Structure 1
């Protein structure tokens, strides 16, 4: 195994492409085409599920027990819940996020035919009119509305424009990369993870690094609404590494630097042996890392296991500040993750016995104790 050089310019470039492509859960076709075009450019074969999850293949020395590495390309967003008499739109969230992060956000309304720009505002938005009432009004999705940038005064005008209940709204990401290496944007969860996975693939292909077993990069399209990697796995995949965000906040051990390895989330512990293999690789290749446990968090790993896949899962993350809000990460974490993922791609399987769906006790591991 070799620790490859990471093309940081490529990483940032592909991340900005992903961030500029709207993809709230349920409206992901555009970003699926973008990732497919990038895989074609890298000469990596892939196939799509019916709804658009992407399963690519990097051939290894043997085909079993093969592995998967997954990131999701769907994001948070909103949907039209109702058309209001004042010409504004009532909203519900797509995915789980707080309306306080939506207030003031610019976004694009996707209608059956055409699209319109607009802004999410609290019901009382004018300081010159409502003064202190703005600060005292309730929060929540029932207390915000979408203002369309069109001549719209009433329900009839909305119907004339062709607005319907169920239309999607994608929130602008407004990314900024600072000279200090910080990246500020909405939807870094998990566009940054997808960029890391593509960057690791680029390094493997550019340096022609051999893989021990077949590896399947996966790009899922419904993680933010819970189903994630439930339908994109080959049944013979024995181990799956998920790339997602780690929460840097009081009481957490995540960091915006290095790799944050999750030991457990709200669905329970991750696979002991695969997780410790990841820790071992970080130690062997001197990749800075830390461990954390996430209390209010689930990922593609949970979706895969809950769907009945008998697969070892682990979760590696980039530390993110203000997750599901206006997020911030550091390039150091993305580069560290890309190095780890590219080394993991080259590594032998955790256990050769895992090539069997069912097998004897011989070769089954034992945890220390």
Structure 2
């Protein structure tokens, strides 16, 4: 095994392409095509589920017990709940995020016939009109509306524009990369994880293609609404490493630098042996890392297990400040994470008996104690 050299320019370039491709959960076809085109360019075979989850294959010397590495390409967003008499739109969120992060956001409305631009605003948006009432008005999705950038001021105008209940809104990502290496944008969860996975694939294909066992990069399309990897796994996958965001907030041990390894989330502990294999790889290859536990968090790993997959799961993350808001990460975490995923792809399988769904006691591991 060796540390692959990650092409940082490629990583940032593909991240920006992902960020500029709208993909709220339920409206992900465009980003699916983008990732498929990139896999074709890299020469990686893949197949799609009916709804568009991507299952790629990096061939190894043997096919079992094979592994998967997963990132999700769907994001938060919104949907039209109602058409208002004042020509504006009532919204509901797609995914779980607070309306205070939506106030003032620019967005694209996708109708049956085209796209319309606009802004999400609180009901009282003019300080010159409402004065202190702006600060006292309640928050929440029932107290914001979407203002379309068209000459429309009533319900009939909305109907003429072809707006319907159930139309999707994609929130502008507004990315900015500073000369200090910080990346600010919406939807870094988990566009940054998908960029890490693609950058790792590029590096492994270029530098260390002789993998010990088949590895299946997966790109899921419904993680933000809970189903995620529930329907994208190959049935013989024994290990699944999920790439997603960590939360750098008070009371957490995550960091915007290095790799943050999740020991547990609200769904429970991750697989002990796979998690400690990841920690061991960080230690062996001097990849900076820290451990954390997330209380209000779930990922593709939970979706895979809840769907009945008997698979070992672990979660490795890049630290995100203001997760599900206007997020910030650092390039250092993305590069560290890509190096870790690269050596993990080269590592031997955890246990040879894992090639069987059911087996004898012989070869079953024991935790220290």
Contact persistence 2:263–2:270 (CA under 8 A): yes
TM-score (structure 2 length as normaliser): 1.00
Separation in 2, partners of 1:313, 1:140: 35
Separation in 2, partners of 1:228, 1:32: 14
Separation in 2, partners of 1:208, 1:348: 14
Q: Residues 93-132 of structure 1 correspond to what in structure 2 (within 5 A)?
A: 93-132=93-132
Separation in 2, partners of 1:238, 1:343: 18
Partner of 1:314: 314
Separation in 1, partners of 2:167, 2:4: 44
Q: Tell me, which stretches of 5 or more residues in structure 2 are unaligned?
A: none
Separation in 2, partners of 1:301, 1:173: 26
1:138 offset after TM fit, Å?
A: 0.2
What do you get for the CA RMSD once the two structures are aligned?
Answer: 0.4
Separation in 2, partners of 1:31, 1:19: 9
Separation in 2, partners of 1:284, 1:204: 18
Q: What do the CA deviations read for 1:192-243 (whole angstroms, capped 9, x no partner)? A: 0000000000001111431110000000000000000000001100000000
Contact persistence 2:4–2:208 (CA under 8 A): no
Separation in 1, partners of 2:315, 2:358: 25
Q: Residues 180-329 of structure 1 correspond to what in structure 2 (within 5 A)?
A: 180-329=180-329
Partner of 1:364: 364
Partner of 1:86: 86
Q: Tell me, which stretches of 5 or more residues in structure 1 are unaligned?
A: none
Q: Residues 70-81 of structure 1 correspond to what in structure 2 (within 5 A)?
A: 70-81=70-81
Separation in 2, partners of 1:145, 1:326: 19
**1:330 and 2:292 correspond:** no
* SS state at 2:247 partner: strand
* SS state at 1:341 partner: helix
**1:17 and 2:14 correspond:** no
Instruction: Extract structure 1 runs of 4+ deviating beyond 2 A.
Output: none
Q: How many residues align?
A: 369
